[in-house]
Amino acid sequence: MPIIEYLDETRSFEPRLLPGDSYHRCKARSIAEIINSGMQPYQKIVKRLGKELGEEEKNKRLEMSTKKTLKAIEAILAETSGIYCIGDGITIADIFLVPAIYTARLQKINLNEYPNILKVIDRLDQLPEVIRTHPKNQVDFQPN
């Protein structure tokens, strides 16, 4: 996160990745941090412990963690979403949401339980930048 904040603060480009007003800036950072600190590290730990836990227990814990994260994000989006996570401009929250939802889809999480997330991700998935940077479009992509 610090590099995104640094680039946003030191470069003059649009859209700004951190909203101008403090309330929306806090909400954008909150979504990004929920994913950055809440979802990603836990998933890495559980995957490393996969052999000890067994496949079924590992998948159960990953699903629980992902659903907990999505529930927290859904609650914020209920207040803040427009076209994207925070109103109608792309922010740091959207940048973090895209790979989080990619992971949720790999885990076969039912996203219909999260209508605000689904609304935002459906729009994000249509952006040329998101399509171009999708894992399946990378030269080193290896399907599971």
Tokens of 85: 């996570």
Tokens of 18: 């951190």
On the question of a cis peptide bond just before residue 135, with omega within 30 degrees of 0, the verdict is no
Residue 10's Cβ-count burial label (10 Å; 0-12, 13-18, 19+) is exposed
What is the Cα–Cα distance from 6 to 112, expressed in whole angstroms? 35
What string of pLDDT tens digits covers the 144 residues of the chain? 888 889 888 988 887 899 989 999 999 999 999 999 887 766 677 777 777 878 788 888 888 889 999 999 999 999 999 999 999 999 999 999 999 999 899 889 999 999 999 999 999 999 999 999 888 888 887 776
pTM over 0.85: yes
Tokens of 19: 């909203």
Any idea what DSSP says for residue 63? H
